[in-house]
């Protein structure tokens, strides 16, 4: 078993979450107070990755700072690959090739998705098959319109998004988790042109006929946080315990928090007046202040350093770090990020 490297894709614009992502890159948005990229890096660290790369484009300095802080906390060596022009998934690998040199295998994951899959099992499948790339697949969510990855009975990927690849008969569609397990030799197949190269379109299809692109079917949580509604859903799922956290060592949002009431967790350093009205599930993060007469929960996340004064209410909502509510303000089914209020329901 050789060296294992990781790469987290963090260059996207996150347009569907605007205006929130006008000021914070999507992989840096908080889920229960923890930047999303830290969750992705924690999963990589848990799978044995000790060095990783993140690519950045939108708000690059902020994105790099968040990733570097997460890597330090997790004990990872991190290289930041800056993309003045977005290079796509394949182009990101090409631009980061020097930083990935020496790795025998690469775990490539999206930084703007909250997911929990067994990366160790995916690595084992990849090694046993001898594939150049193994895509981690999940059952297609009911009613979803995501592009499918179609796999034959032997586990070979034959078509992606109904367009790319040779296709065939008897194929089964799966939902792609965004996790790729790559052999280092796959990097040789990334073309120099086009500059913005997509692995699913420009790299994998020519390799499918030989069976070099495989699928690994997994089970696990997955949420793309692609809309305000989906973002709030991810936070609610964390609060309700629907996201397994065993593989999130170093990124568990509830570490050190005390359950003051059923389902109501208060982080160290938070100040909650005894006169506040609390209902679980809810999380009050470090440095937050909740005054007497304020209402928190159910389904509420009060981010680090937030201020919730008397008469204010937070229900089925998320406050981003440092947000101060006005007395009597009610934030329901919404995200409050500084002065912005974005409805999510």
Domain range annotation of the chain: 4-239, 258-343
Mean pLDDT of 181-199: 88
Domain 4-239: homologous superfamily in CATH: Spore Coat Polysaccharide Biosynthesis Protein SpsA; Chain A (3.90.550.10)
The residue whose two tokens read 């060592």 is 249
Handedness of CA 305, 286, 59, 326 (dihedral sign): negative
Supply the pLDDT for residue 147.
82
Beta strands (DSSP E) in 123-186 are: 133-138, 148-151, 157-160, 172-183
Query: How many Cα atoms within 13 Å fall on the side-chain side of residue 237?
Result: 20
> Which of 37-41, 194-198, 247-251 shows the lowest per-residue confidence on average (mean pLDDT)?
194-198
pLDDT in tens, 118-142: 999 999 999 999 999 999 999 987 7
H/E stretch holding 128? helix 119-129
- The answer to whether the beta carbons of residues 312 and 296 sit under 8 Å apart is no
- The answer to whether the beta carbons of residues 222 and 115 sit under 8 Å apart is yes
Residue 66: phi and psi, rounded to 5, are -65, -45
Better-predicted residue by pLDDT, 164 or 227: 227
| DSSP label of 207 | H
| DSSP label of 262 | T
Q: Which CATH code for domain 258-343?
A: 2.160.10.10
**Dist CA 118 CA 179 (whole Å):** 11
pLDDT-derived band at 2 (thresholds 50, 70, 90) equals low
What is the helix, strand, coil percentage profile of the chain, to 5?
Answer: 25, 30, 45
**Dist CA 35 CA 50 (whole Å):** 20
Radius of gyration (C-alpha) of the chain in whole angstroms: 21
**What is the pLDDT of the chain when averaged over all its residues?**
93
| DSSP label of 326 | P
């Amino acid at each position: 078993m050789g060296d294992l490297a990781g790469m987290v894709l963090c260059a996207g614009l996150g347009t569907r979450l605007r205006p929130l992502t006008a000021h914070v890159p999507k992989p840096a948005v908080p889920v229960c107070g923890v930047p999303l990229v830290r969750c992705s890096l924690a999963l990589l660290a848990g799978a044995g990755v000790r060095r990783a790369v993140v690519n950045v484009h939108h708000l690059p300095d902020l994105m790099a700072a968040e990733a570097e802080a997460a890597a330090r906390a997790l004990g990872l060596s991190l290289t930041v690959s800056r993309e003045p022009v977005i290079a796509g998934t394949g182009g990101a690998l090409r631009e980061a090739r020097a930083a990935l040199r020496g790795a025998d295998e690469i775990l490539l994951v999206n930084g703007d998705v909250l997911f929990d899959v067994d990366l160790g099992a995916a690595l084992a499948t990849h090694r046993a098959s001898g594939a150049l790339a193994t895509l981690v697949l999940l059952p297609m969510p009911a009613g979803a319109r995501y592009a499918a990855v179609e796999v034959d009975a032997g586990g070979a990927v034959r078509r992606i998004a109904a367009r790319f690849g040779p296709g065939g008969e008897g194929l089964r569609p799966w939902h792609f988790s965004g996790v790729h397990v790559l052999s280092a030799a796959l990097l040789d197949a990334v073309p120099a042109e086009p500059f913005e190269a997509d692995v699913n379109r420009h790299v994998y299809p020519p390799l499918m006929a030989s069976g070099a692109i495989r699928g690994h079917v997994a089970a696990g949580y997955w949420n793309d946080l692609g809309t305000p509604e989906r973002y709030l859903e991810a936070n609610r799922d964390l609060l309700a315990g629907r996201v397994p956290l065993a593989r999130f060592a170093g990124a568990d949002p509830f570490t050190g928090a005390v359950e003051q009431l059923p389902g109501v967790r208060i982080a160290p350093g938070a100040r909650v007046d005894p006169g506040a009205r609390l209902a679980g599930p809810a999380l009050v993060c470090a440095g937050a202040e909740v005054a007497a007469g304020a209402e928190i929960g159910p389904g509420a996340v009060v981010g680090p350093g937030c201020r919730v004064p008397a008469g204010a209410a937070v229900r089925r909502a998320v406050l981003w770090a440092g947000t101060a509510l006005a007395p009597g303000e009610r934030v329901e089914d919404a995200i409050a990020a500084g002065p912005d209020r974005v409805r999510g329901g």
